[in-house]
Chains A and B, each alone.
Chain A
Amino acid sequence: MHWPIEGEAFEALLGRFFEGIAEVLGDDPTSTWAVVGVRSRGDVLAERLAATPIGEAFGGRVGRLDITLYRDDLTELGSQAVVRSTDVPFAIDGLDVVLIDDVLMTGRSVRAALQSLTDLGRPRRVWLAVLVDRGGRELPIRPDVVGLDMTGEATGLVSVAVREVDGRDAMTCAEAGDE
């Protein structure tokens, strides 16, 4: 693996990730689909997916979740916590929702996102798609689509940068013990 993953390699990874989601979408033609991204990188990935031909399946139902208020470490975060807007401008009841996050590690963010989604309504089913699964789960959470599987590797902190937020597309990895 060459770090950081950027340029064409990042594009290829993103392409494979979106193809994986396309397979899920083809699973059940009776479903009505929506995509919801977790701020502040997953929402960008959701918007990019929605802009591709694969994303036409969502019919414009694209949302973004801010999970800050649902985190289980708010007390430890204290004044570092930054609340942003949640914007899901459609009723999620009865929909098949693809939940997108950039990095999956402990699973705590996903737990918070699921609770936040449930407060917005009752989706028929929620699918979890992550650009990279870094392993290290602390909760029983399993993704349905993974762009890059690093669960078997001893790596440090993996982070994703996107041009809309960070000015460039890249996936970087701090060596184990570097943190």
Chain B
Amino acid sequence: MSEATAVATEPAAGYAWAHRDLLGLDDLSADDIRHVLRTAEGFESVSGRSVKKVPALRGRVVVNLFFEDSTRTRASFNLAASRLSADVLEMTGKGSSTSKGESLTDTARNIEAMGVDAIVCRHHLSGAAVQLAKSVGVSVINAGDGQHEHPTQGLLDIYTIAKRFERRGAYDLSGLRVGIVGDVAHSRVARSNVHGLTKLGAEVVVIGPPTLTPRGFEAMGCTVAHDLDAVLPELDVINMLRVQHERMSGPAFPSVREYVVGYGLSEERVARAKPGLLVMHPGPLNRGVEIVSRVADGDQSAILEQVSHGLSIRMAALFLCVLSGGG
């Protein structure tokens, strides 16, 4: 290892992680983001050993509080907490639409009173995690709130890009152009990605029909485009957002056929892109809509890597926030 590498992979002198909660990448500095990614690097080896557990959070309790359906994110957080030796309590939130704000706070305070150390929260309302963090004294990790942010997804996407392009260590993504394609307007994955990627120096282009890619995104430091084929040859990474079926009937959404023609990732499109184009998708896939199977399962796809990196990222997020919370 050269000295230059050794220096660049260490946190800057005087740097210390100072966040009890992980609510969004908008709230984090570039140094914070690098610190989570480097910490996740240390956790990656845990998944490859015979004993897939470290005692770091032994005796701590993590609650998975999900107000919205989720299989993989919930499972990923559960496994991440288990690998840190924490105990995990699974809860599914319910409540009438009018009393949700109130019931969220009440539910959280009740959970806190049981003596937990962290609450992992998913909610269909934007800002739910922020509100939760204000009402409790324990760590809150946002596992997706409405259309606001999904920070661990953003971090695992960035980690996947940094690993494939050998930018780990310094985590400087300058010179890389990342396209995010689809229903950007309603996507918390897109928001977290844009915040995180631009902070680390990447160029981000969000691409989709005008109704789904508002100009307002340019204020976040990315560019907006509507013609995928025009932008595609310049991209190093393409992140295909999931088409959400419940939105397809809405007036803002073109027909499925029209969407596939304009924005679906086909083999022909990949052939016209840079040879090393990295293909990503946050899952679950709509095969044949935003992405065809041969591309999703091909050599350039990092979709399954994203899933395994999600574990290391979530271990890092839980570890850093819980330790920082004191407890």
Q: Interface residues, chain A, CB within 8 Å of chain B?
A: 66, 68-70, 74-75, 77-87, 115, 118-121, 164-165, 167
Contacts and interface: CB of A to CB of B under 8 A. Distances in A.
Contacts of B10: 82
A86 B56 contact: no
B323 A77 contact: yes
Interface residues of B, number: 29
Contacts of B44: 85
B165 interface: no
Contacts of A84: 38, 41-42
B259 to A, nearest CB: 42
B6 A165 contact: yes
Interface string B34-73: 0000110111110001110111100000000000000000
Most buried by B among A70, A77, A86: A86
Given A83-B42, A83-B43, A85-B45, A120 B51 contact: yes
B8 interface: no
B323 A75 contact: yes
B320 interface: yes
Contact of B327 (A75, A77, A115, A167): A75
Contacts of B327: 75
Nearest to B85: A69
A38 to B, nearest CB: 14
Contact of A66 (B42, B50, B316): B42
A131 B323 CA distance: 32
B51 A119 contact: yes
Given A69-B54, A164-B6, A74 B42 contact: no
B144 to A, nearest CB: 25
Contact of B55 (A80, A115, A165): A115
B16 interface: yes
B49 A80 contact: no
A167 B10 CA distance: 15
Contacts of A70: 54-56
Interface string B307-326: 00000000010011001101
Nearest to A91: B50
